[in-house]
A and B are shown apart, each in its own frame.
Chain A
Amino acid sequence: DTEVTQTPKHLVMGMTNKKSLKCEQHMGHRAMYWYKQKAKKPPELMFVYSYEKLSINESVPSRFSPECPNSSLLNLHLHALQPEDSALYLCASSQERQGSQGRQETQYFGPGTRLLVL
């Protein structure tokens, strides 16, 4: 099973709402990621969790709050978002292993949550 699942698929929220995005993987991967992707732009890294601890925060505004309750789950809590935060939010997971080309850490992405902030 190489699947990363994300819920919900679509989300519409007002600027005063609080909502959460959920990501789940059952591949035993030790690292999980949140990316943000605006239309016709490449994904941009937001957060990295390694062994359930936050290891990278790419200077993301505090209205985005990540949480890793266990090794299979990653949440992104949203509060007081702005319309410019409307985007596709992608989750990914990875595990380092040795391959034929040396050390390899392939990231597996979910299908994303499409967020619209009104």
Chain B
Amino acid sequence: DAKTTQPNSMESNEEEPVHLPCNHSTISGTDYIHWYRQLPSQGPEYVIHGLTSNVNNRMASLAIAEDRKSSTLILHRATLRDAAVYYCILIERWGGSEKLVFGKGTKLTVNP
């Protein structure tokens, strides 16, 4: 079962910042927090990941709470192309392999 909870949907306006929350209260000390997104009619794509400190890349920023029980994906200026389902995932390691266990995700709608 997925170990994260996210709102089912969120809405934003184009060129405004978007903050997508994720709760992972049962996170262990070695769990990485990953975010993937799935655009319509495409496979999921990696967005960002982190362990303890906040992270930035060209797509987004990831803010991780000090107790690591929650995190927030930040899109600084939403575009229409960012409309997608965003998944917050704790990676599970199983026999040397990694498993992505997807939760229900947050469907982001971006209004023009």
Contact = CB atoms under 8 A, between A and B. Distances in A.
Partners in one complex: yes
Interface of A: 4, 31, 42-45, 48, 50, 55-56, 90, 92, 94, 96, 100-112
A104 B50 CA distance: 9
B44 A43 contact: yes
Interface string B81-101: 000010100010011111111
Given A4-B43, A109-B43, 9 more contacts: A43-B44, A50-B96, A55-B96, A96-B98, A101-B51, A102-B32, A106-B46, A107-B46, A111-B41
A104 B44 contact: no
Interface residues of B, number: 30
Interface of B: 2, 32, 36, 38, 41-46, 49-51, 53, 55, 85, 87, 91, 94-105
A50 B46 contact: no
Nearest to A41: B104
B43 A48 contact: no
Contact of A31 (B38, B46, B98): B98
A48 B87 contact: no
A112 B39 CA distance: 13
30 contacts: A31-B97, A42-B2, A42-B85, A42-B103, A42-B104, A42-B105, A43-B38, A45-B99, A45-B100, A45-B101, A48-B94, A48-B97, A50-B96, A50-B97, A55-B96, A56-B95, A56-B99, A90-B43, A90-B44, A92-B43, A101-B32, A101-B49, A101-B51, A102-B32, A107-B36, A107-B98, A107-B100, A109-B43, A109-B44, A111-B42
